[in-house]
């Protein structure tokens, strides 16, 4: 961004003042000050031309080249609920709004965009009380209109805004009886470290990240009091995009990516602790 003429002038004045071999008259009519203004104006004009050229190139790129998946992800995260787009652009006019108001309007907190069978799949989620959740139908309607406005012509896409996939774990934990009791509670700290480790692993997964059972086992092996973590069975239930209902649980053999982009664990009732 081009500096102001005043900023450029002040920079030159500072250099002159720092050099004892140069005249340093404080008079506003000093000849070198006039030369400084002329030079500063020329520099400002050149920097302004660079700015204009940069914007022209940016506009050409945006209008001539199809957007990448990362662009759609960033565009989803940039959605502002209740705000209108500048005509014929994918940008918002936030003039007159505070940073807090602008940030509050950005309700899409998570997004991932993939391509499947020639179709873009735009997965989104918001956050409620620190928990991932789908956006409301009202917000979804506005988001659909927004995506339709900014999407390249001819692009086939699907917005996925679903309740979380349900992760069902059946596990057997071989425990150290000196550290964990029969219910998996830490004798020393009175917490449930296996449950905490599973929750931590889920939080570490990126949105639309791949759940790998071996990695979960690796995580549990680091828990004090756990000798052998054994996953007897792992399943997940996902929402059917067409019916908006949960389908039957499907086995997870090695790894899986959640249809919604994220998981929830309803309970830990199927974790048993043995010696």
Nearest Cα residue to 252 out of 168, 162, 164: 168
Is-contact 226 220, C-beta < 8 A? Answer: yes
Compute the distance between CA of residue 197 and CA of residue 218 in angstroms, rounded to an integer: 10
Q: What is the reported pLDDT for 22? A: 61
118-166 tens-digit pLDDT: 899 999 999 999 899 999 999 999 999 999 999 988 889 999 999 999 9
Residue 203: CB atoms within 10 A of its CB come to: 8
Crossing angle of helices 137-150/69-78, nearest 10°? 130
Contacts of 32 (CB under 8 A, 6+ apart): 16, 22, 23, 25
User: Which residues in the chain come in under a pLDDT of 70?
Assistant: 21-32, 59-66
User: For the whole model, what pTM was predicted?
Assistant: 0.73
Q: What is the reported pLDDT for 24? A: 60
* H or E, element range at 71: helix 69-78
68-82 tens-digit pLDDT: 899 999 999 999 999
Q: What is the reported pLDDT for 28? A: 61
Q: What is the reported pLDDT for 193? A: 98
Q: What is the reported pLDDT for 63? A: 53
Q: What is the reported pLDDT for 187? A: 97
């Amino acid at each position: 961004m081009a500096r102001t003429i005043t900023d450029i002038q002040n920079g030159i004045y500072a250099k002159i003042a720092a050099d004892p071999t140069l005249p340093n008259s404080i008079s506003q009519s000093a000849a070198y000050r006039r030369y400084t203004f002329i030079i500063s104006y020329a520099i400002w004009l050149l920097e302004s031309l660079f700015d204009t050229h940069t914007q022209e190139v940016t506009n050409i790129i945006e209008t001539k080249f199809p957007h990448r998946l990362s662009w759609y992800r960033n565009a989803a995260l940039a959605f502002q609920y209740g705000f209108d787009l500048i005509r014929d652009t994918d940008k918002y006019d936030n003039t007159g709004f505070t940073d807090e108001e602008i940030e509050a309007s950005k309700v899409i907190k998570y997004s991932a965009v993939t391509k499947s069978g020639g179709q873009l799949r735009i997965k989104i989620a918001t956050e409620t009380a620190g928990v991932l959740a789908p956006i409301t139908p009202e917000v979804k309607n506005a988001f659909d209109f927004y995506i339709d406005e900014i999407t390249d012509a001819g692009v086939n896409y699907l917005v996925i805004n679903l309740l979380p996939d349900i992760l069902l774990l059946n596990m057997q934990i071989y425990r150290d009886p000196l550290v964990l009791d029969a219910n998996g509670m830490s004798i020393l700290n009175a917490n449930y470290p296996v449950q905490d480790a599973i929750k931590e692993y889920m939080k570490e997964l990126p949105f639309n990240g791949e759940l790998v059972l071996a990695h979960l086992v690796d995580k549990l092996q680091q828990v004090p009091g756990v000798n052998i973590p054994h996953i007897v069975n792992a399943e997940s239930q996902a929402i059917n995009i067409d019916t908006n209902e949960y389908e039957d649980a499907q086995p997870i053999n090695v790894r899986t990516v959640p249809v919604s982009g994220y998981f929830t664990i309803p309970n830990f009732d199927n974790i048993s602790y043995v010696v």
